[in-house]
Structures are given as structure tokens and as C-alpha cells.
């Protein structure tokens, strides 16, 4: 029996996390077979990781990413939603406020 691409990529991410003690950045963006399990395992197993790019990793659920953000605050998780949240937060910090008036 052959391994599925999802399992192979998840195992690869686990190995990177476990055996690369100094790795700080992993960009797995557009790897369509990365799963919640793979993203969770690399965050969990890599003590030096500071950035995990998951842009368009469609099998990684945004709820999983939200949980990882809370569990591993030292890691920047890059997804469309997370990047939008950071951009909006920076805009608020710089004094931007949404236009709440309605057009007549």
C-alpha cells in the first residue's frame, strides 16, 4: 500500500520540526496536501520555528490555525485570514477607523 500525498507531507513536516533544531521559517504555501495534523505537528515539534506559511493550504482548517495562534504565540502563521487580521490590527494602531457613515 502506498502513502497518500497528505500523509507523506505531514510526515515530512513532522521530521522537519523534530530534526531541524534551528529552523525558524517554513513556507508550505500552496502545498495542497498539507493537513491540520501536519501544521499542528510542525508547530508542536519545532522549538525554534518563528514563521509557518500556510497560504492556500486548503486542507488546513482556519479553526485549526486560530487554535495554533493561541497555543504558539511565538510563531507567525500566514494564511489569508491571519494576514488580513494583522494588517487590520496595524491600521487600527496607526489611527485608522472604518467609515461608519452611510451613503444617503
pLDDT band per the 50, 70, 90 thresholds, residue 1? very low
pTM, two decimal places: 0.78
Question: Tens digits of per-residue pLDDT, 9-60?
Answer: 677 777 777 777 788 999 999 988 889 988 998 898 888 999 999 999 999 9
What are the residues whose beta carbons fall under 8 Å from the beta carbon of 76, sequence distance 6 or more? 50, 51, 52, 82
**Cα-Cα end-to-end distance for the chain:** 65
Burial of 10 (0-12, 13-18, 19+ CB in 10 A): buried
How many CB atoms are closer than 10 A to CB 82?
18
Mean pLDDT over 81-96 rounds to 93
**Each residue's pLDDT tens digit, 47-60:** 899 999 999 999 99
pLDDT of 90 higher than 60:
yes
Amino acid at each position: 500500500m502506498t502513502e497518500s500525498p497528505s500523509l507523506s507531507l505531514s510526515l515530512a513536516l513532522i521530521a522537519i520540526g523534530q530534526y531541524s533544531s534551528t529552523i525558524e521559517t517554513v513556507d508550505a504555501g500552496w502545498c495542497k496536501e498539507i493537513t491540520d495534523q501536519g501544521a499542528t505537528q510542525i508547530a508542536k515539534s519545532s522549538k525554534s520555528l518563528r514563521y509557518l506559511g500556510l497560504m492556500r493550504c486548503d486542507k488546513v482548517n482556519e479553526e485549526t490555525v486560530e487554535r495554533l495562534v493561541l497555543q504558539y504565540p511565538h510563531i507567525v502563521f500566514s494564511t489569508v485570514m491571519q494576514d488580513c487580521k494583522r494588517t487590520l490590527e496595524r491600521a487600527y494602531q496607526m489611527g485608522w477607523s472604518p467609515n461608519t457613515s452611510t451613503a444617503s
